[in-house]
């Protein structure tokens, strides 16, 4: 029998009550490598977390959970740019606040995104007209077994919408730092439609954009310590022009955008049209203000309860629209990440 006595509830934003065999907070690379090597030698699973903001634990974890707190922000400059080298154990939102305080601008649209710097390039985090790929120049990774470090330049990161090469490649490596390049000449990013609808110059400073982004995120996404959630559970689907036009003939009010000759749809709208708004089962609720968010409403639902509702939504949307949503959240069982297509397979 495997004894898992270390509670993970406070280090996963779904607030799922699961345990791990061992949890250790690390503050430097030698400690990280030593622990990883030790547990791998025992043939026990290892998992690195920052805030646990994009994971769903289904069961107790039968291995070591490493909480990454390897900190450090290093700034240099050239004539036109700020060059930032940030260690992976830095909190993302605190980094955004730090740069604005230092009058280094550009990240303000990405304010209040949960998680730590190490996870940011994996998902290519983005919001309100911006994403990390616009600023990332490289990602440094380490093989904790032999301590070899590789620098993956932006061109090889294969950044796409909520995707990077790190989701499928470099499985034996851990992200240890990220390089960002921010122009000294600040130009506001007003691509988000609410900015476009506003009066001229109302968002004419980085601080005003930062404040506005924080205010709307607080209104749209419940604070996870009060009501467990991981933000958007599913990705917004990207479909062919042919399927998009076919759906528009049936659903003329369907919101969409055209990107690189593809239709990008609102997963929240698709879920809403399947009548899941406010739906609740086994303590898991589809958030009434944003159907992409699944809430651990009373913080006592299990990971399986949350997964079961997600699967129900997946099949309902697929059967109605012919679109099979892709989960954005990483699903973890006893031994690590599970391929979601095994769990969300079609009927």
Two structure tokens written together for 324: 């099979």
217 is catalytic: no
What confidence tens digit (pLDDT) does each residue in 243-293 have? 999 999 999 999 999 988 999 999 999 999 999 999 999 999 999 999 999
What confidence tens digit (pLDDT) does each residue in 300-341 have? 999 999 999 999 999 999 999 999 999 999 999 999 999 988
Neighbours of 4 (CB within 10 A): 18
Residues of the chain with CATH 3.30.465.10: 73-220
Domain 73-220 bears CATH identifier 3.30.465.10: yes
270, β-bridge pairs? none
Q: pLDDT above 70 covers what percent of the chain?
A: 97
Res 133 pLDDT > 60: yes
Question: What is the pTM assigned to this prediction?
Answer: 0.94
**Candidate list 108, 130, 162, 177, residue with the active-site label:** 162
Q: Is 148 left (phi over 0), alpha (psi -120 to 50) or beta?
A: beta
Q: How would CATH label the architecture of 6-68?
A: 2-Layer Sandwich (3.30)
Topology of domain 238-328 in CATH is 3.90.78
288 is catalytic: no
**Candidate list 119, 164, 232, 302, residue with the active-site label:** 232
Beta carbons within 8 Å of 231's beta carbon, 6+ residues apart: 53, 54, 114, 221, 292, 293, 328
328 is catalytic: yes
CA distance 273 to 254: 10
Q: What is the pLDDT of residue 171?
A: 87
Residues of the chain with CATH 3.90.78.10: 238-328
Which of 107, 105, 75 lies closest to 92 in space, CA to CA?
A: 107
What confidence tens digit (pLDDT) does each residue in 140-159 have? 999 999 999 999 999 999 99
Q: What is the pLDDT of residue 1?
A: 72
Residues of the chain with CATH 3.30.43.10: 6-68
Q: What is the pLDDT of residue 195?
A: 67
């Amino acid at each position: 029998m495997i004894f898992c006595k270390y509670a993970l509830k406070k280090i996963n934003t779904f607030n799922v009550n699961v345990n791990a065999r061992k949890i250790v907070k690390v503050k430097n690379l030698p400690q990280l490598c030593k622990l990883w090597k030790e547990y791998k030698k025992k043939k026990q699973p290892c998992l690195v977390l920052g805030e646990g903001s994009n994971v769903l634990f289904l069961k107790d974890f039968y291995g070591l959970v490493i909480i990454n707190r390897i900190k450090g922000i290093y700034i240099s400059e050239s004539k036109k740019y700020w060059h930032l080298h940030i260690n992976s154990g830095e909190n993302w939102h605190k980094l955004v606040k730090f740069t604005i305080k230092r009058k280094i601008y550009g990240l303000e649209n990405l304010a209040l995104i949960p998680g730590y710097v190490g996870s940011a390039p994996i998902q290519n985090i983005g919001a309100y007209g911006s994403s990390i790929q616009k600023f990332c120049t490289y990602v440094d990774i380490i093989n904790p077994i032999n301590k070899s470090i590789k620098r993956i330049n932006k061109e090889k990161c294969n950044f796409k919408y909520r995707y990077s090469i790190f989701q499928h490649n470099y499985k034996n490596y851990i992200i240890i730092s990220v390089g960002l390049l921010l122009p000294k000449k600040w130009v506001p990013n007003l691509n988000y439609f609410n900015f476009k609808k506003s009066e001229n110059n109302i968002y004419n400073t980085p601080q005003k954009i930062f404040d506005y982004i924080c205010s709307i995120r607080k209104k749209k996404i419940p604070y996870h310590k009060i009501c467990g959630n991981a933000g958007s559970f599913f990705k917004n689907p990207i479909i062919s022009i042919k399927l998009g036009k076919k759906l528009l003939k049936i659903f003329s009010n369907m919101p969409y955008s055209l990107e690189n000759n593809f239709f990008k749809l609102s997963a929240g709208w698709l879920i809403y049209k399947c009548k899941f708004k406010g739906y609740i089962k086994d303590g898991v609720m589809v958030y009434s203000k944003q159907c992409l968010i699944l809430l651990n409403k009373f913080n006592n639902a299990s990971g399986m309860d949350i997964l079961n509702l997600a699967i129900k939504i997946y099949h309902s949307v697929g059967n109605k629209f012919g679109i099979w949503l892709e989960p954005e959240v990483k699903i973890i069982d006893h031994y690590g990440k599970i391929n979601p297509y095994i769990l969300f397979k079609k009927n």
